[in-house]
Structure 1
């Protein structure tokens, strides 16, 4: 099973990582994870449920969603589907200093813009499959055209300079590393802030600004990911799992699991196949 921190290899020639999946198992849930790479999801057909940024979105035929860096997300195929996923390097929009806000399940872009975006995505996909020696050059050009469309129509300007942003990234990475090392100890925001040398209010603001999650939400995702691993690989009781993964009790574990995964730990254990 993939861990919450997913390492993605970007094809340097093509500037992206690309894959398509066709799901027929509607019980299969991809567990909560995040990565520094940005991700564009194109639901070519069928439907796909996406948990992200504290909400649930259902993508249907031809919907497109963009997930920015370090945003925890999880997916479940609600029907048989075909989904195209493009992943971009963390630095892809570094010069433009923007975040992309694109979710056609909630937004209604101009149809001409959306049609061009869809066509570009499919062209990139077909070029990706091509075996021509120099087709990667065409892929690069289409990826850069895609970049332009995303920035032009869906970009939101960053309010901080790159230098300031880099310092904040370093600070938050130190905090993330600390939480990853100690989340099973049920550490609090106040404890983390004190150990990392910040006030609780400052750490809370910085954490949410960078990750899009509250401290509690982020820590809970780590706890849930570990709990899912134990459910998949052991026969430990829910009491043992809740204790080992940093939940204060079984009740809070069950509640958090149901809210995020859409089913109880027992239902998950019975029916969900993970990778």
Structure 2
């Protein structure tokens, strides 16, 4: 099952975002992407296939992976899982940047891994129970975790290749930001390159080298992501959804959808309806939480 949701911590001035990612019945895919925030994925139950810099990591219960700012990653959930996700704005670590105004964390099986996982678990349980002062408990755990990251995981010297990749992904991020706002339009590689003053060949190489994905695949993944939300949240016809999100016709949309998710859009919609009801009833008792569709 590919239906996904996140339980979001209410906005109470906390310097992070904490939520629960679940793979439902499996088969969920989040394509390659990157962002400025630091992320930690900690698997509580089940299995998660994590792709980081072209390497595959199979995470089981008790494992976690740390994703740096602008580090390309993808997520596959072939089996049901329950994963805590912590997103930390890069600016939280501003006092610990290198001379290049940069920070990078390593993660290669350290002795402190168990403590990191324990802190994440405590934060998540505290939020779920919502006892008096739970926000303070979450903050206390967060600052302990931040201390461990800065003192145990931070790399004091960062290689030129990492710095270069980060710089290029920042530049590419401006382009993908434009693409995400105009994805419904006829955005050929040539047209996008002209808007930003690049040659089509150069822009194509940028996507392939730094994002590890070609332009056409990236644009299709953006369109598909938005189309999936309409499948989940509206009663619009499949053909209308396809045209609304930049696909030339319903056949092109259905072919890509089946290739990605192993089923047709209408089959997905039927399955999602029953899953929505199950997840909604499960989370109704949790006052202050909300359902968030990936």
TM norm. shorter chain > 0.5: yes
- Which of 107, 116, 119 is residue 120 of structure 1 equivalent to? 116
8 Å Cα contact 1:10/1:89 also seen in 2: no
Structure-to-structure mapping, 1:32-47, within 5 angstroms? 35-47=35-47
User: Deviations for 1:118-146, whole angstroms, at most 9, x for unmatched residues?
Assistant: 32231354267393897645642432212
3-state secondary structure, aligned to 2:235: coil
Does residue 66 in structure 1 map to residue 74 in structure 2? no
Which structure 1 segments of 5+ residues have no match?
1-6, 103-108
1:260 is displaced (CA, Å) by 3.2
User: Deviations for 1:151-177, whole angstroms, at most 9, x for unmatched residues?
Assistant: 359x96353769x93x973x4344223
Tell me the residue number matched to 1:78.
Answer: 79
Structure-to-structure mapping, 1:186-201, within 5 angstroms? 186-201=186-201
Q: TM-score with structure 2 length normalisation?
A: 0.65
3-state secondary structure, aligned to 2:253: helix
User: Deviations for 1:93-123, whole angstroms, at most 9, x for unmatched residues?
Assistant: 6624355575xxxxxx45xx2x521322313
Q: 1:228 to 1:139 in 2, by over 3 A?
A: closer
Whole-angstrom CA distance in 2 between matches of 1:132 and 1:249: 50
8 Å Cα contact 1:53/1:213 also seen in 2: no
Does residue 149 in structure 1 map to residue 152 in structure 2? yes
Which structure 2 segments of 5+ residues have no match?
1-7, 277-292
User: Deviations for 1:23-65, whole angstroms, at most 9, x for unmatched residues?
Assistant: 5942695876865322111112222355787898653222322
CA-based RMSD of the aligned residues comes to 4.2
User: May I ask how many residue pairs the two structures share in their alignment?
Assistant: 253
8 Å Cα contact 1:186/1:247 also seen in 2: no
Q: TM-score with structure 1 length normalisation?
A: 0.68
8 Å Cα contact 1:223/1:246 also seen in 2: yes
1:205 is displaced (CA, Å) by 3.4
Tell me the residue number matched to 1:203.
Answer: 203
Does residue 159 in structure 1 map to residue 161 in structure 2? yes
3-state secondary structure, aligned to 1:66: strand
3-state secondary structure, aligned to 1:159: helix
Whole-angstrom CA distance in 2 between matches of 1:24 and 1:222: 20
1:200 is displaced (CA, Å) by 1.5
221-230 vs 261-270, which moves further: 261-270
8 Å Cα contact 1:27/1:271 also seen in 2: no
Does residue 26 in structure 1 map to residue 5 in structure 2? no
Whole-angstrom CA distance in 2 between matches of 1:207 and 1:127: 37
User: Deviations for 1:223-256, whole angstroms, at most 9, x for unmatched residues?
Assistant: 0122112212333333332222222343432232
8 Å Cα contact 2:62/2:117 also seen in 1: no
Structure-to-structure mapping, 1:215-230, within 5 angstroms? 215-230=215-230
Q: 1:134 to 1:219 in 2, by over 3 A?
A: closer
Q: 1:247 to 1:57 in 2, by over 3 A?
A: farther
